[in-house]
A and B are shown apart, each in its own frame.
Chain A
Amino acid sequence: MRRTTGRLLRGLALLSTLALGATACGGSDDDSGQKAVSAGDIQTALKKGGTVNVWAWEPTLKSVAADFEKKYPKVKINLVSERSGDKHYTALSNAISAEKGVPDVAQVEYFALGQYALTKGLTDLAPFGADKLASKYSPGPWNAVSEDKAVYGLPMDAGPMALFYNKKIFDKYKVAVPTTWDEYVEAARKLHKADPKVFIAADAGDAGLTTSLLWQAGARPYKVDGTNVEINFADPAAKKYTDTWQKLIDGKLLAPINGWTDDWYKGLGDGTLATLPSGAWMPANFVTGVPQAKGDWRAAPMPAWTKGDKASTENGGSSLTLPALGKNKELAYAFVKYANAEDGVQTRVKQGAFPATTADLQSTEFQNTKFDYFGGQQANKIFAESAANVADDWSYLPFQQYANSIFNDTVGKAYISGTKLTAGLKAWQDASIKYGKEQGFTVK
């Protein structure tokens, strides 16, 4: 028996050593100096052909990939689109840390770009000539993908915000569509008083919406300079948001329904929810998710924080990037450029994507598109104007993904208990600072 235990222990020791060895091999970084890649190099690569592995859930990319393969018959695009959001990032992070199975092209939302760029997970596209594409894009998305001289991805779409509202409900109770957030609170009170089943909007605590509204109000809670990070939710602009939203929470004017749940879709369809502040990518979701309310909804510009102020904000939007450990970089870049700066954009716009390229945003064809779902409204005019009015000096945290995951642990308390929104934001700030310090950032 004793002998067996001895052997077992030795086996265990061997196993642990193996595990140690396996992990110790990681962490070599050698491709720091990047050489410029000329257009000629890319053409040669395209003629030579190869396979590009793409991880992206954007649905319109399917036909873009098919068109690209038709144009360059020797190139094969292997599109993996089953994963989205958190699952996608977990898989991507795991592949990068395992240094195995890393895709050549990956979709990354603007809020998550910082983390991958900072940890050297992405290829700088400036040597490929991407820095010369700056003028093609709206300032908001371009600011999100570029840092100093580096460009970490090409903007795929944008989410300039608009206020979607149920016209039928507003007409029925003779309430004017709000143009400022103060009017919004008033409208919320009137509608809820006229019918206690009607709420101005659903909000049970959503990090994306909160940061977008702070952005519009002029607050800049995150200041990021490399590994130096500053987090502060207590500036006067943030107070504009907290004061207004606190009124909505205290008056129980927001439906406690989480976004993207069955209840949420039902609420949008049956008149329970009167408005939805969301990104310009929302119409396609209305068509598929809320078909029963076709014709009821319209788009309007976001309410202003002070009357006459046109400042808008972004919600969502993503880019295509080249992970540093991916292969076939010339081909990968050619595909990204085709999809997000060349012919692919048109294909995607036709299928309902909201472009980040100014030329497409300003084209009359795009602006005059009538949305059947919105009763024939030319909603793109509103979205395009919103896109032009987005302040471009906003930045997300280099660990925004994590910060968003604990939003409901902290700020969420304000929605369900006596905790004030300002106290909730302070708790979020503290928890984010703690995490930042643990991860080696210099946080103030």
Chain B
Amino acid sequence: MTTLQPPVAAEPRPAPPPARRDRRSWTGWGFIGPFVAVFALVFLAPIAYSIYLSLYRNQLIGGNSFVGLDNYKLALQDDQFWASLGRVSLFLCVQVPIMLGIALLVALALDSGRLYGKSFFRITIFLPYAVPAVVATLMWGFMYGTEYGLVGDINQAFGVTLPDPLSPDLVLASIGNIVTWEFVGYNMLIFYSALRVIPHSLYEAAEIDGAGQFRVITAIKLPAIRGALVIATIFSIIGSFQLFNEPNILRKLARNAITTDYTPNFYTYSLSFNGQQHNYSATVAIIMGLITMVIAYAVQLRGMRKGA
């Protein structure tokens, strides 16, 4: 119906090809320029500076000197570093499956449509994520107290002796409990939103075929949210390796159980702020970053390959 007026070429454009290419490349820079500037400033520059730092050693006596890869050699043989990495790996292997399992169960329950007061449950389970990690840890730290905390009160009221959640054997599990409490809601929301976009026609077809709820879950829901599961797993792996807030705050209550090298992040923090060993701290941070990248990437490759 509507006919578009063809663009009138007033005269043949004399612009030579090289100039046009040049102009086009500048336009591109204009678009990504703001991003690149911020990216370089807040991401590349700190990494470059950390790498630069990691090649030097600054001593109280003797000052600053270039040491090449010495810091890396030291870090690879550093028992404290490997012990802290082992600790967060254990945490990862136990806490992450529990947390994601609970989140998945809750998401499936909410999605099943058989729950009364669905939106109430959804918001209450998500609510802990809205509490800052620092506040959450302080709150749990108070409950864990055996003298004046909730554990102490229970002991007194019922005449029992509960194990001290802040003792060296239990403190990692206690931290896991806090982290699970904080992040079940967040992961639930990822799973739940993935479940919501599954077309209802699939469920209707399953019903016609006579599939039960369990079959619907295993044959339709889980395969459909595989992408969300992988993403949540990767976030959790990164989160576990970067564990810092919880041990740092609980340490005020359990100085002896939570050492200054408890997690890799806490170790780099102590190196930098207690020992003024900024160079070695940068080295450990870089190694830890590489390890996290490799593991997260491996999980992603594996998760996506199976999905395809």
Contacts and interface: CB of A to CB of B under 8 A. Distances in A.
B145 A263 contact: yes
B40 A402 contact: no
A255 interface: yes
Interface in B123-153: 145, 147-148
A435 interface: yes
B9 to A, nearest CB: 31
Q: How large is the interface on A (under 10, 10 to 19, 20 to 34, 35 or more residues)?
A: 35 or more
Interface stretch (A126-134, A236-244, A376-384, A413-421): A413-421
B257 A439 contact: no
Interface string A386-418: 000000000000110110011011001101110
B163 to A, nearest CB: 13
A398 B260 contact: no
B58 to A, nearest CB: 8
Nearest to A435: B275
B48 A440 contact: no
Contacts of A27: 63-64
B255 A438 contact: no
B118 interface: no
Contact of B60 (A15, A204, A399, A412): A399
A223 interface: no
Interface string A199-229: 0000011000000000000000000000100
Contacts, number: 95
A27 B60 CA distance: 12
Contacts of A258: 252-253, 255
B297 interface: no
B2 interface: no
A409 B261 contact: yes
Interface string B261-280: 10000000010011111000
B148 A263 contact: yes
B219 interface: no
Interface string B38-66: 00100011001101100000011111100
Given A93-B276, A261-B252, A255 B147 contact: yes
Given A27-B64, A263-B145, A15 B40 contact: yes
A398 B60 CA distance: 10
Q: How large is the interface on B (under 10, 10 to 19, 20 to 34, 35 or more residues)?
A: 20 to 34
B259 interface: yes
A227 B52 contact: no
A416 B260 contact: no
B59 to A, nearest CB: 4
Interface in B61-91: 61-64
B255 A204 contact: yes
Contact of A205 (B59, B60, B167, B255): B255
A243 B62 CA distance: 40
Contacts of B289: none
B168 interface: yes
B256 interface: yes
Q: Of B167, B168, B275, which is in contact with the most chain A CB atoms at under 10 Å from its CB?
A: B275
A139 interface: no
A212 B260 CA distance: 23
A369 interface: no
B273 A86 contact: yes
Nearest to B28: A4
A11 B276 CA distance: 30
3 A-B pairs with the lowest CB-CB distances in the bound complex, closest first: A440-B61, A412-B256, A405-B274
Interface of B: 25, 36, 40, 44-45, 48-49, 51-52, 59-64, 145, 147-148, 167-168, 252-253, 255-257, 259-261, 270, 273-277
19 contacts: A3-B25, A8-B36, A11-B40, A11-B44, A15-B40, A15-B48, A19-B49, A86-B274, A115-B60, A205-B255, A205-B256, A255-B147, A263-B145, A402-B275, A406-B260, A408-B255, A408-B256, A409-B260, A439-B60
